[in-house]
Amino acid sequence: MDDGHSIRQPDLHASTTLQVRGGRSVHVRHMRLDDAALLERMFYKLSSETRWRRFFMPLDNIDADLVRRESARLAKVHPEREVALLATVVEGGREEGVAVARYGRMGDGDECAEASIVVRDDFQSAGLGAQIFDLLVQVGLARGIHHMILLTHADNTGMIGLVHHLGLPYSGKYTSGLYEIDLRLADNEPPFFPFSQH
């Protein structure tokens, strides 16, 4: 019986194909546990700036074992609390990652989730980020998310433009050189800034 509070689990076999500028087709699906090696390879194809903007620290000289462990951790998605969408293409005869959009529910507030996105440099400015993030928003809506919180660098015009492009109400707050965005997926929700509320 549905009490109105049950969470629909994503169909992990569902997938879609997106068209991006330049005529390229990109396959989007849910992250799987066996995607760790794919995430690891994708990390090494990110520029220094893209790594900095996504992970908030310089990662040019990071230990390879740490990259491997973090890739394995990020590939393990808790289905009740997290969603991770992976965009891939076939390069050199094998599947390679070009973007990841994900969210994780925050604390006890199941209606609020922290969201993030990273797009490989050679697929940036092609419309992929906006499309995969829109898919993430749709999944969040279906699963009862009311707020998606994004934390980005204050000068990250790409991320801010992506959020604006979605056409959903959002509010922003600057804090310590970062910009906290509350993307509101439900009507008449007051702004919520969990990272700078204190």
Question: What one-character-per-residue DSSP string does 105-128 give?
Answer: EETTEEEEEEEEEEE-GGGTTTTH
CB 121 within 8 A of CB 56: no
Residue 5 pLDDT exceeds 50: no
Q: Which DSSP category does 69 fall into? A: H
Structure-token pair, residue 193: 């800034």
Residue 4 pLDDT exceeds 70: no
Amino acid at 65: D
Give the pLDDT score at 7: 42
Quote the percentage of the chain above a pLDDT of 90. Answer: 51
- Ordered by start, the domain boundaries in the chain are 15-184
pLDDT digits (tens, 9 = 90+) for 46-77: 888 887 676 655 566 777 888 899 899 999 99
Taking CA atoms, 96 is separated from 18, 70, 156, in Å, by 15, 17, 26
User: 65, 73, 58: which is closest to 104 by C-alpha?
Assistant: 73
Residue 178, φ and ψ in degrees, nearest 5: -115, 165
Give the pLDDT score at 11: 59
What mean pLDDT is predicted for residues 18-33? 92
Give the pLDDT score at 52: 65
Cα–Cα distance for residue pair 41/99, rounded to 1 Å: 12
Give the pLDDT score at 55: 65
Q: How many CB atoms lie within 10 A of CB 198?
A: 5
Structure-token pair, residue 19: 């068209």
Structure-token pair, residue 182: 């509350």
Give the pLDDT score at 184: 93
Indicate the pLDDT class of residue 168, thresholds 50, 70 and 90. very high
CB 38 within 8 A of CB 151: no
Summary mean pLDDT of the chain: 85
* 119 vs 50, residue with greater confidence: 119
pTM for this prediction: 0.85
Residue 123 pLDDT exceeds 50: yes
**Topology classification of domain 15-184:** Aminopeptidase (3.40.630)
Give the pLDDT score at 192: 75
CB 149 within 8 A of CB 116: no
Give the residue ranges of DSSP H helices in 21-156: 36-44, 48-55, 64-75, 128-142
What mean pLDDT is predicted for residues 123-151? 93
First to last CA, the chain: 40
Cα–Cα distance for residue pair 41/75, rounded to 1 Å: 13
What mean pLDDT is predicted for residues 14-21? 88
pLDDT digits (tens, 9 = 90+) for 82-104: 999 999 999 999 999 999 999 99
